[in-house]
């Protein structure tokens, strides 16, 4: 007989637990499974239901998670609320199926004629049992609603961060290694070009903005949505058609408590939905709340679903748990037999009710392929919507007359007369693009993007035509002085740098090949009460004195305004008036996501950060980076291969991902065959 393979034992009861007992129950022990004895068949496999004791880790996880949700819903006093036991007639079972030495594990809670497969599934039913049973239960089995809709409605009571149960302390060796030098992080990056130049062709408008060019409707809509100030309790419209995102699904829990919570998908359609809300009193019977909805296509399985904006997050904001990746790497070769078109087309991670959600092991193959497709897609990029810009350059300056012989003076007069008959300003045609696909993100000319380089590495003491970083605001400066700190050590140097893209163009590079570059104004995040010593800003003449002419408009002032800055900060242009940055695409880290830290799927992760613990802050540095509060190098898109179209990017990513996964299986099969013991003939 094989020994039981238990679930992760990392969950334990919290200190000073406050126990909750159910006043009602609809449980019935007759619904419990009968095959509770472990029996190994002729093929060495088992298929039975093992009763789970209350003190086992997985059971404690459920008791703590459900108890915590009940306490928040019923507004219990603060404390570590835990279920003393499940309702009468309920029992948890661990379904063991597969090879006896390493069976699959799926946990179920049996009781009222159905089986609950996760904490979020059981929470609505548990809350109903705590009441007087006069109202209808809102769980998926009683209400017949999709679980993802129910989970979305429980945002105020469902902890999306790790459960409040006490976790085993992490040893120092387990802490992530944080490299302190930017050079180490960017050592594998391609060489890039960056400079600051004067925009002198058109003094009032940047030469890289042409108002008479035809703008795509899609680009106009996306840029307008990016700068629109979101209403209270509403999320901005973050995503654009064709972008790669994560969609929150009903958790599919694995044997070690790891869960597949998100699925990579492509935005297929963006829509505005109306949600009617009743008013408690007044003549108006109801109000209408608008939110953004997304129709998405899941990678690998090509299924289409609709998700509200509260269930969709940027692809760069989520990292697949290492435990799931280890399950894929260590998976037996025979379990990959469902890597074929027919099996993938039948798989549905979000089946309509009352269908049963697939198990963790049934999900591994399509999820592994989806992860690989998303990873390959992020390696590609392409330019879109080419157009020719005609730039008017000033005429060449007249030559200075030489101070020499009479013959030289006559020759100079002749050349000067010829110059007077020549055309005036020169016209230059430059190839430009309205946008590009940067990995999984759609970027337009006019977007505010994050740069990989932090402010501490970009002219930290100021430079020619680049202002020094802003310091702390007046309020923080007082606190720093009171604590004996140096205000010079605080300010914008700890944050990122933004580029407002005015133009995406092709130029002749230093290597003789054409290169793509972006141009525009650079910005940093300054504290709202910081006073800029460089204001008011006027243009400087050649002798560095203040010019009497009207101050030139910054290069990025035309077009769309800047999006909403993070709470407590304001944008500050860091280039001198009349100048703009010219950079290679490789400097771009990715899109900027305003107010992302308030997203219901992101906020719980940030809320648990201890601001006094440096390591705790760094663990979510990739989230801070998406709002520019950390340097872009902490969370960047790094495409390396150019593709002609977005369709080519998608098809090549799918083909390459499947080929690499099949190669992994072949390697594992070869390793298995080479390790087999073969009897001699």
pLDDT in tens, 47-60: 999 999 999 999 99
What pLDDT, on the 0 to 100 scale, is given for residue 374? 97
- Give the span between the Cα atoms of 659 and 654, in whole angstroms: 9
What pLDDT, on the 0 to 100 scale, is given for residue 538? 52
Residue 541: pLDDT over 70: no
CA distances from 664 to 326, 328, 350 (A): 14, 10, 28
The C-alpha R_g of the chain, in whole angstroms, comes to: 31
Q: 412 pLDDT band (50/70/90 cuts)?
A: low
Residue 159: pLDDT over 70: no
Range 638-667 average pLDDT: 94
Would you say 517 and 484 are in contact if contact means Cβ atoms under 8 Å apart? no
What pLDDT, on the 0 to 100 scale, is given for residue 263? 97
Q: 287 pLDDT band (50/70/90 cuts)?
A: low
| DSSP strand pairing (312-314 vs 244-253) | antiparallel
Element (H or E) spanning 476, and its range?
helix 474-482
Residue 480: pLDDT over 90: no
Q: pLDDT (tens digit, 9 = 90+) per residue, 56-106?
A: 999 999 999 999 999 989 999 988 999 999 999 999 999 999 888 888 888
Residue 339: pLDDT over 50: yes
CA-closest candidate to residue 95, choices 128, 47, 138: 47
CA-closest candidate to residue 60, choices 102, 92, 103, 106: 92
- Give the span between the Cα atoms of 299 and 288, in whole angstroms: 33
């Amino acid at each position: 007989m094989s020994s039981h393979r238990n679930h992760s034992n990392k969950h334990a009861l919290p200190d000073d637990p406050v126990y909750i007992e159910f006043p009602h129950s609809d449980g019935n022990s007759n619904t419990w499974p009968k095959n509770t004895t472990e029996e190994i068949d002729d093929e060495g496999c088992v298929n039975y239901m093992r009763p789970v004791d209350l003190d086992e880790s997985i059971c404690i996880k459920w008791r703590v998670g459900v108890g915590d949700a009940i306490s928040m819903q019923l507004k219990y006093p603060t404390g570590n609320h835990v279920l003393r036991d499940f309702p009468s007639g309920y029992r948890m079972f661990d379904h063991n199926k597969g090879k006896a030495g390493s069976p699959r594990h799926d946990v179920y809670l049996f009781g009222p004629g159905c089986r609950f497969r996760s904490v979020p599934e059981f929470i609505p039913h548990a809350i109903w049992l705590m009441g007087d049973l006069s109202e209808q239960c809102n769980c998926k089995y009683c209400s017949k609603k999709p679980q993802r809709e129910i989970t979305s409605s429980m945002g105020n009571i469902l902890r999306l961060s790790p459960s409040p149960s006490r976790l085993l302390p992490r040893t120092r060796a387990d802490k992530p290694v944080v490299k302190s030098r930017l050079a180490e992080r960017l050592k594998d990056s391609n060489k890039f070009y960056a400079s600051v130049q004067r925009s002198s062709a058109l003094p009032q408008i940047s030469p890289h903005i042409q108002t008479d060019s035809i703008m795509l409707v899609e680009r106009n809509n996306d840029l307008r949505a990016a700068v629109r100030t979101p209403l209270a309790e509403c999320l901005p419209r973050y995503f654009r058609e064709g972008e790669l995102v994560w969609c929150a699904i009903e958790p599919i829990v694995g044997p070690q408590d790891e869960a597949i919570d998100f699925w990579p998908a492509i935005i297929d359609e963006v829509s505005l939905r109306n949600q009617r809300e009743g008013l408690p009193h007044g003549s108006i019977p109801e109000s209408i709340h608008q939110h953004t909805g997304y129709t998405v296509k899941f990678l690998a399985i090509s299924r289409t679903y609709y998700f509200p904006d509260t269930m969709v997050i940027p692809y760069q904001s989520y990292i697949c748990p290492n435990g799931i990746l280890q399950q894929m790497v260590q998976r037996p070769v025979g379990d990959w037999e469902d890597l074929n078109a027919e099996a993938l087309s039948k798989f549905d991670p979000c089946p309509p009710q009352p269908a049963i959600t697939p198990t963790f092991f049934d999900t591994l193959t399509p999820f592994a392929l989806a992860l690989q497709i998303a990873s390959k897609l992020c390696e590609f990029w392409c330019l879109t919507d080419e157009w020719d810009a005609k730039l008017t350059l000033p005429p060449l300056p007249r030559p200075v007359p030489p101070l020499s012989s009479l013959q030289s003076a006559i020759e100079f007069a002749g050349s000067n007369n010829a110059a007077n008959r020549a055309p005036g300003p020169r016209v230059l045609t430059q190839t430009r693009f309205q946008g590009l696909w940067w990995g999984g993100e759609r970027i337009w000319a006019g977007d505010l993007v994050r740069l990989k380089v932090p402010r501490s590495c970009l002219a930290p003491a100021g430079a020619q035509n680049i202002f020094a970083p802003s310091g702390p605001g007046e309020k923080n400066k007082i606190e720093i002085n009171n604590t004996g700190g140096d205000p010079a050590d605080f300010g914008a140097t700890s944050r990122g740098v933004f580029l407002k893209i005015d133009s995406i163009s092709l130029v002749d590079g230093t290597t003789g090949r054409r290169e793509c570059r972006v141009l525009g104004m650079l910005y940093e995040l300054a504290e709202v009460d910081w006073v800029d010593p460089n204001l008011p800003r006027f243009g400087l003449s050649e002798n560095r004195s203040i010019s009497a002419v009207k101050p030139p408009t910054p290069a990025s002032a035309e077009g769309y305004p800047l999006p909403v800055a993070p709470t407590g900060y304001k944008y500050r242009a860091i280039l001198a008036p009349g100048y703009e940055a010219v950079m290679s695409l490789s400097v771009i880290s990715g899109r900027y996501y305003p107010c992302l830290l308030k997203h219901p799927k992101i906020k719980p992760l940030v809320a648990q950060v201890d601001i006094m613990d440096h390591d705790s802050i760094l663990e979510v540095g990739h989230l801070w980076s998406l709002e520019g509060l950390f340097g872009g190098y902490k969370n960047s898109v790094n495409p390396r291969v150019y593709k002609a179209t977005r369709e080519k990017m998608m098809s090549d990513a799918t083909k390459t991902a499947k080929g690499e996964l099949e190669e992994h299986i072949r390697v594992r099969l070869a390793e298995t065959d080479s390790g087999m013991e073969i009897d001699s003939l």
